Amino acid sequence: MIAGIKGGVCQSCAMPIYTADMYGTDLHGKKTEDYCIQCYRKGVFTDPDMDMFDMIDKSVAWIMNAGVYPEAHIRETLSEIIPRLKRWNIPVTTHYFN
Ligand SMILES: [Zn+2]
């Protein structure tokens, strides 16, 4: 799930988007294709001040709630995925996590 992410995954938080009403909305209330409703409503990010690291923490916490994977595994996976999403747009070749 790391390579070629687009469509079907929120480009801010990396959550899978399964149904049309999970998509965020633009200024005019139309559905956007890029972001989920948790991240983006009426053309603005619901939490515009958060940075990429905040988002990784938040997403780790969400997935931890499901109780399926250990935190280290979730964090490692999200640290690969989230920097490459459209909202954060970090070059793939850049290594931010040592
Ligand atoms: Zn989202």
Say how many Å lie between the CA of residue 98 and the centre of ligand 1: 25
What does the pLDDT look like over 31-88, one tens digit per residue? Answer: 998 999 999 999 999 999 999 999 999 999 988 998 889 999 999 999 999 999 999 9
Q: Is the pLDDT of residue 2 over 80?
A: no
Write the DSSP assignment of 14-79 as a string of letters: --B--SGGGEEE-TTSPEEEEEETTTEETTEESSTT--HHHHHHHHHHHHHHHT-S-HHHHHHHHH
Say how many Å lie between the CA of residue 10 and the centre of ligand 1: 5
Distance CA 10, CA 69 (A): 20
What pLDDT is recorded for position 97? 52
Could you tell me if 78 and 59 are in contact, meaning their C-beta atoms sit under 8 angstroms apart? yes
Say how many Å lie between the CA of residue 8 and the centre of ligand 1: 11
CB neighbour list of residue 33: distance below 8 Å, 6 or more residues apart: 7, 23
**pTM: predicted TM-score of the whole model, two decimal places:** 0.79
Say how many Å lie between the CA of residue 94 and the centre of ligand 1: 23
Backbone φ and ψ of 24, nearest 5°: -70, 175
